[in-house]
Amino acid sequence: MQEPQELTSGFRFDHAFGPIYGWFSAQGLRALELPGSVHGVRSGAVPHLSEDDERVRALIAALDRYFSGEPESFDDVPLDFGACTAFQDRVWRALRDIPWGRTETYGSLSERLGYGARASRAVGQALGRNPVPLVVPCHRVLAGNGLGGFGAGLAWKRELLRLEGIEV
């Protein structure tokens, strides 16, 4: 587990569902909060807006591309997961391997990570604690019998999947 870095900059990105807020530490993106998130990382605190931070400008440009329907991987966004467990870190990093327009189930993700299907619930719990949804695409992981959950609500999950051409 790594020591969390102090937050250095942030931004607001306006979306039809409401504002998306993000925070960077010196190491990378620490939090991305979608409107309606029940697991608000910063409890709705407005970040210090930092348009002079190149990482902020690059992420805002990537969000513009993504919400315009252009495939966007967010691979160039540096991350800072802060104080997380080794299991969470491993699960969150594996999510970045699920490409635009594709999905995986909790069970298949658990098996891909070598934990077997028995750990699919633990994988789901790790996804629910993902501090940077969208950039780390937990919305691409589905339950074996449907959508599953999403910290910002199922309307968001459906919208993100729809943007990527996935009908659920």
Q: Residue 75: inside a domain, yes or no? A: no
Please indicate, yes or no, whether residues 56 and 100 belong to a single structural domain of this protein: no
Please indicate, yes or no, whether residues 145 and 110 belong to a single structural domain of this protein: yes
* 8 A C-beta contact, residue 17 and residue 159: yes
Q: Residue 16: inside a domain, yes or no? A: yes
Q: Report the CATH number that the domain containing residue 97 is assigned in CATH.
A: 1.10.10.10
* 8 A C-beta contact, residue 91 and residue 109: yes
What's the domain count of the chain?
2
- The catalytic residues are 138
**Domain assignment of residue 21, given as a range:** 7-67
Please indicate, yes or no, whether residues 100 and 159 belong to a single structural domain of this protein: yes
Q: Residue 168: inside a domain, yes or no? A: no
Mean per-residue pLDDT, 54-83: 94
Least trusted range by pLDDT, from 28-32, 52-56, 117-121: 52-56
* 8 A C-beta contact, residue 96 and residue 137: yes
Q: Residue 80: inside a domain, yes or no? A: no
pLDDT above 70: residue 51:
no
Task: Give helix 120-128 / helix 86-95 axis angle, nearest 10°.
Answer: 80
Question: Which ranges constitute the DSSP H helices of 7-105?
Answer: 54-67, 86-95
Q: Residue 73: inside a domain, yes or no? A: no
Please indicate, yes or no, whether residues 11 and 57 belong to a single structural domain of this protein: yes
Residue with the two structure tokens 């939090």: 31
Please indicate, yes or no, whether residues 42 and 94 belong to a single structural domain of this protein: no
pLDDT above 70: residue 3:
no
Please indicate, yes or no, whether residues 155 and 94 belong to a single structural domain of this protein: yes
Q: Residue 72: inside a domain, yes or no? A: no
Whole-angstrom distance, CA of residue 26 vs CA of residue 9: 9
What's the pTM?
Answer: 0.88
Please indicate, yes or no, whether residues 99 and 151 belong to a single structural domain of this protein: yes
Residue 139, amino acid: H
Residue with the two structure tokens 């327009």: 101
Mean per-residue pLDDT, 75-103: 95
Task: Read off the pLDDT band of 107 (50, 70, 90).
Answer: very high
Mean per-residue pLDDT, 116-123: 93
Please indicate, yes or no, whether residues 19 and 50 belong to a single structural domain of this protein: yes
Mean per-residue pLDDT, 41-52: 57
